[in-house]
A = this chain, B = another copy of it.
Amino acid sequence: MTHVPDEGMVLVPGGTLITATPEEGRALAITLARHTVHNLQPGLEILRAGRARYGEDPMGLIAAAQVVALEFATVAAANGYWR
């Protein structure tokens, strides 16, 4: 089994929730969600097979988008909503 590279296992890349812009905050939210999944399942082959499956399933994409929305809510609040 090939393992997710070490940098993909860091739970909060950069070590902070603070970002310069909402765009970067959104990217962080997606990364947070992905790295959680890496920690739950570090096998690269299984992850790739799973990504192919949910990526073609609208319910899978919607469920993943929901996780991103939840992560972004936290990141946005941490940044005072970038006002």
Hey, which bits of chain A sit against chain B, CB under 8 A? Answer: 10-12, 15-18, 21-23, 25-27, 30, 32-33, 36-37, 39-41, 46, 50-51, 53-74, 76-78, 81-83
Inter-chain contact A11/B40, CB cutoff 8 Å: no
Inter-chain contact A12/B17, CB cutoff 8 Å: no
**CB neighbours of A78 from chain B (8 A):** 76, 81-83
Given A30-B36, A83-B18, are A56 and B50 also a contact pair (CB < 8 Å)?
Answer: yes
Whole-angstrom distance between the Cβ of A70 and the nearest chain B Cβ:
4
Inter-chain contact B62/A54, CB cutoff 8 Å: yes
* Contact partner, A69, options B18, B25, B70, Cβ 8 Å: B70
